[in-house]
Structure 1
Amino acid sequence: MASHTDHPELLTTAELAALLRKTPNAVHVMRYRGQAPPGFRCGRDVLYPRRGVEEWIAARLAMDPVAQRSAQ
Structure 2
Amino acid sequence: MTALPRHVASSNDLHDVCWLRSSYSTGANNCVETARPGTGSGAGLLAVRDSKDPAGPALLFSPESWAGFTAAFQS
TM-score by length of 2: 0.26
- Pick the structure with greater CA Rg: 1
Structure showing the higher helix proportion among its residues: 1
Structure showing the higher strand proportion among its residues: 2
TM-score by length of 1: 0.27
Q: Bigger relative contact order, structure 1 or 2, given CA contacts below 8 A and separation 6+?
A: 2
